[in-house]
Each structure stands twice: as structure tokens, then as C-alpha cells.
Amino acid sequence: MSDVPQGIDETLALLAGQNYVCGRDLGTVAFLALSLGKPLFLEGEAGVGKTEIAKAIAAGLGRRLIRLQCYEGLDAASAIYEWNFAAQMIAIRTAEAAGGADRGALQTELFSDAYLIRRPLLEAMEPHAEGPPVLLIDEVDRTDAPFEAFLLEALSDFQVTIPELGTVKAAEPPIVILTSNRTREVHDALKRRCLYHWVDYPDYTRELEILTARVPECAAVLSAEIVAFVQRLRGEDLFKNPGVAETVDWARCLVALDAVALSPEMVSDTLGAVLKYQDDIAKIAGSEASRILDDARADLARAS
């Protein structure tokens, strides 16, 4: 198990060791969240690396990553625990078949640890040999107000209650990272419990560093053209701009096709790796792809 970094530079080095490249501003807020034990709330467009930083921190510290994927209708019970009803029914039928079962003893047994299914929040509160886990509450903006209110209490006291068993309180609070794609505004009360950071699209230099770290087998010329093209693409009037995740996926696709440089035909054939809506693909394919590629190469020529 690795200790928590003792400074911003150590935090950046820990992240870089997991091929996660970020600016000093994000490294600073990550260090503060780790050193102060406060939840970290990351907001930004999809695909900019919010979820990946939780994975990088967990791997770098040698901690377990526990992920709570949020969705509409998620309630507190689903996030904490549930009982293994199938196993409970088998135990009841077995006791009935044996006859003379003590109802009180049977009830105590049925609602014991043996029949408890732990969900992410309960798992995160329990002790772990390697140290407090990283609890990733992903896309919290997909939930509703009642679940946010529940999180306020859970993140304030780091404890959850199971009516049949009592309260479980974390001996050591987990490292909590919440993410939001801002499909709706998350309540200020929840944000105030956290350190906040907006994760934006990276500039050309940083995105090239990320691509080089993530896809080292991609040729230098091709990497430069991919990043310049995506940077230009984000300036177009698209329904959904490509994130860094799409840049990385596109590079891997092009490497698989043995590409050494971009061409208008190659761009049009592989747009589905970088754009995820048909209207956007139809708008960029063909002559628009050629224009954007020419502009991207002109940007590279001016930079050199």
C-alpha cells in the first residue's frame, strides 16, 4: 500500500505513473482532497478524464476502487445493501422441511451477515486490508434530489444504517470522488461538502502528452495530426464535441489500421470512433473533413 502524496508534485507524479496527465490545478485539488480527507467533486463534459483520475489514484495508492454508477431512480437502499432473498427462501423452506424450527432464531439467522449483499456505499465504509478504498460516485447528476440529500448525510458522517443490523461507520473514511457531466445542476449543499474542480478540454500540448502516454505505439506524426484535427473539430458546430477518450480511441483505431498519417478518406472512414452522433458524422464527412484536416496541418506548420 502506498502512502498519500505529501505534496502537489508527488500527486502529479503518482498520476503520471498511471499514465494520467493533467495540469497543476487539477493536481493541486487532488492533493488537497487526499490530504484533508474531503470528497472531490469533478464536473465537466463527458470524456475529459473525470472517471479516469479515480482509477489512477486507486492504482497509484494500491487501494481498491469501488464504483457507484448513478442512474435515474437510484435510491439509498440500492446503493447500500440488499438481502439475498433467494438464499433466505431456501433457508426458510429447509427449516420448514426439518420441522420444529425456532422462529426467533431463524429470523436472526436470515438477517445476518451471511445473507447480506453489500452494495458500493456499504463496501466503502468497511475496513480493507490495503487501506481506505477509493469510492467513485460516477455521474451523480443522473440521480434525483432525494438521493442527493442521502449523500449529504453519508458523506458528512461516513456512516450508513441497516435497519436489521444497525449503523456501520467507517473507521477510516474512504477517498471519495464524485463526477458530473452537468446534465443538470447538482445542489449547492452537496457541492459545499466537497472540493470542486471543473475539468475542461485540454489544449493541444496537453492532449498530445495524454495521447503519447496512452497510445505510445502511435507514430509521432500521426499523433500530432490526430490531436490537431480533434482540436479543430471542437470548434465546429457539433451536437457533441469529442472528448479526450474519443481522441485516444481514434488513435488506437488508426494504429490498428496501420495508418502513419491522416488522409481525408481515412478520416471519413473512421469518424465513428471520434463522433457519436450520425448528424455530426454526416456534417463532417467528405469535403468538411478535408477542410478541417488542411486547417489542422496549417496549425501544425505554424506551431513548428
Within the chain, residue ranges assigned H as helices are: 8-16, 24-36, 50-61, 76-80, 85-98, 103-110, 120-125, 145-157, 188-192, 204-214, 220-233, 244-256, 264-269, 278-284, 287-303
- 262 — phi, psi (to 5°)? -80, 150
Q: How confident is the model at residue 98 (pLDDT cuts 50, 70, 90)?
A: confident
- Compute the mean pLDDT over every residue in the chain, rounded to the nearest whole number: 91
Q: How confident is the model at residue 235 (pLDDT cuts 50, 70, 90)?
A: very high
- Measured between its terminal Cα atoms, the distance across the chain in Å is 44
Average pLDDT over residues 21-25: 94
pLDDT at 100: 61
pLDDT digits (tens, 9 = 90+) for 29-54: 999 999 999 999 999 999 999 999 99
187 secondary structure, DSSP code: P
pLDDT at 1: 46
Q: How confident is the model at residue 109 (pLDDT cuts 50, 70, 90)?
A: confident
Candidates 127, 131, 114, 148; CA nearest to 41 is 148
115 secondary structure, DSSP code: G
Picking from 9-18, 121-130, 147-156, 167-176, which range would have the lowest pLDDT averaged per residue?
147-156
d(Cα 49, Cα 207) in Å, to the nearest integer? 11
Average pLDDT over residues 155-167: 83
pLDDT digits (tens, 9 = 90+) for 68-84: 999 998 988 889 988 88
pLDDT digits (tens, 9 = 90+) for 246-295: 999 999 999 999 999 999 999 999 999 999 999 999 999 888 999 999 99
The bridge status of strand 40-43 relative to strand 175-180 is parallel
pLDDT at 136 over 60: yes
Average pLDDT over residues 138-147: 92
pLDDT at 101: 62
Q: How confident is the model at residue 111 (pLDDT cuts 50, 70, 90)?
A: confident
